[in-house]
Structure 1
Amino acid sequence: MAYVPAPGYQPTYNPTLPYNKPIPGGLSVGMSIYIQGVASEHMQRFSVNFKVGQNSAADIAFHFNPRFDGLDKVVFNSQQGGEWGKEEKKRSMPFSKGSPFELVFMVLAEHYKVVVNGNPFYEFGHRIPLQMVTHLQVEGDLELQSINFIGGRPAPNQTPMVIPAYPGPGGSCQLPPSNLPTMEGPPTFNPPVPFVGRLQGGLTARKTVIIKGYVPPTGKSFDINFKVGSTGDLALHINPRMNENAVVRNSYLNGSWGSEERKLSYNPFGCGLFFELSIRCGMDRFKVYANGQHLFDFSHRLSAFQRVDMLEIQGDVTLSYVQI
């Protein structure tokens, strides 16, 4: 079965430019918009616009516009009735030509909060009610890798999106709606590393964990551990090793490491790259997706996987979003 995102978690991969599409359910407080891409080697400017409608004459509630023009700066503005408002600017350029970036817009009650590569960059006060914003537009000198809308409301004419359970031993994906997996806890934005999170009530079947992060250019390796806090057992140890171009999976039970698993059809963890992991627990295995594609399965070696109550992430990685 094809990958389908969870409610409020709707990634679009490798969108074409110019991008100009509806925001699922419209803009609302608590929503975050993640844009991952690469700035062009010859970048002069690009823009992200939160628009009141799709057509070219639609009002723009928030215009975000980095400019490489000799006096590198980022311009912020709004447009109503074809007229630009008072321009705000910051003479600081958080983007580098030819380099990947992660740009996050957090929609708060009083303003948009802009975060670039995990660092707070600017706050732009609402000039047009955010409830009027319907479309997101991205254009200019960049290459888009993904756009994610996290949080907010599903569109009225859309059924809530869910992550399907993976096929069981018999190959069937058909489960009643009550058995569909969920993400329970609130997300954590830009948590420090090492990260330790508690799985309230332990690890349950159909539980999904989402991790978004960035591998620094000098990164060598990092670990993601599903751990039993009382014993130190690791039901699943995921260990991307950039210096070996490998993603090692293993378990650590009763004081001993098990056999390593390394086989992959592709490796999403490269130095200087962003990644997005969806780790789903089933009755007989973990199923792991990276950037929307199936990466690997890992059969349970700890039969009582419900005892797992901690998620640990450590090593050479920068985290932007974790939901457990």
Structure 2
Amino acid sequence: MAALAFCVCSALEQFCDFADAFVRFGLSASRSFQYLRAKRNQIEFRRNCRAIWLQELSNRHALSVRVVYEILRRARIPLTSANYVDHTIELVKKEMHRRGIDFAAIEASAEAYEAIDNFAVQRRYLAGQDTTDGGHRDYDMVDNYDDIEVLSGDEIDSSFYDYVEPLPVYQNEKIGTLKEGISFTVTGSILLNCERFSINFVIENPTRDVALHINPRLPQNYIVRNTKVKGVWGKEEVSSALPFSLHRGSKFAIQIFITDSDYLISVNGVHFAKYAHRLPYTTVSTIEVKGDVEDVSMERDEVECYPEHIPGFNPKEIRTALDIFDEQPNGDKTALMPYDEVDSSNLDWAPLGIKSSIALMKNIACGIPLPYYGLLPPDSLKVGRCLQIVGRVKLLPQSFYINLQKGQHYWPHPIIAFHFNPRFSKQSGAIGKAIVCRNAWYNGAWADEERSELDTDFRPGKTFRLAIVCAENAFEVYLNEKLITDFRYRIKPDVVDTVYIQGDIKLRSVVLLTNLSPKGTRRIYTNPLFRY
């Protein structure tokens, strides 16, 4: 009777799922079945991943799978390979022993193990998991199927990944023990007829699971990241703020750096994306490369910082307009260059009063590629100075951000004195409406974020002039000479030696100025709320 009831309930659940999909996809049976197959694959994929994680943690802590599951359920922590999980398991295990909780009773309980399919993998907001763009990464295996895309009535199955040549062009089965700090750099040449290629971190088990699949697709200009467990592919990750930089007939260098929580991936010396561990990285034993590439080689290193900048990657020295004022006998500061030497056609963006002082920057109309790393002289960013950034907002912007930070590396996380991040609103539809987030990273964590919804002069396709002024107690941000926000110092600005800019803008120039007019009589940018 119980079995019959279970079958009836399962049939009703499947019927309700189909009815919901049928309505959702405009009464299209083919699209509805495609959605249900994709949903079923995601459920199976998550179940397989969770089983592997539980088995790995069981082996690592000499506990049964059921006991590990119960500990994770009680601690309400996500399945991840971070040391945080191991530390938490030990703490909870000691606490359970202290309270006299019987592990044998948990072992004998069928309920705990049967509930594994409903194990809620939570979003990760753990210390150290935050990104340099000020956001938090969500774990990709949450129970959410609303974003499954159905493009046609034909299912795109796992064979899409096993393209053209099933044999690897490069394979290495002696990669050693993996731990945080291990880096693999794969280099080679892309063929002139290349459609796609892949780098796979393979687990040598009966199903040859793929812990990490990196798949550049040149016709589409994006790089897929994914995982395969027991023949089932997970959900693809394709997003990145970095422009696609792989081209037919050129050489490439892709670095994969291992941390306890993620793979960090850089392309040609610039960080491209991070990919959360869906399977334990310690089980990977083989790295292989497939596809339309040649002359492939791999280098394994244990490094202290990431990414490894390749030859040709040269952060730009930020131009300064601090030393071009000459002290005259009468005490006035006048520009070294006369007015008639200035090409004013390139200086329409310049603040009133300093056009004559920045003639050395005539060529700012040329675009600067992103991501942008700009180097500042030591102790150059201090009270009384400002960083002026000129650019143009892209036509369909989502966000961009500016970090005033110490160091050029992505890992370990740099100290960020000021993180400025406008995020453009999609819901309001108002042009120029943005949620402006401000923050700082120090002592190993983000500070409390400040955010404001502002009606700004950031307009799609329009040029802007942004100035970050070092005032007495705060960074003040001016947009087109209007004060829009400020951010009180968490750490002094003189620690900053690098300016990092990324996002949906076209960058034209970055200049360090003194916040004085050429005559030294008034400030260029003045906060109307304070008297100087």
TM-score, normalised to structure 1, is: 0.41
Greater share of residues in strand:
1
The higher radius of gyration belongs to: 2
The structure with more helix, counted as a fraction of residues: 2
- TM-score (ref. length: structure 2): 0.26
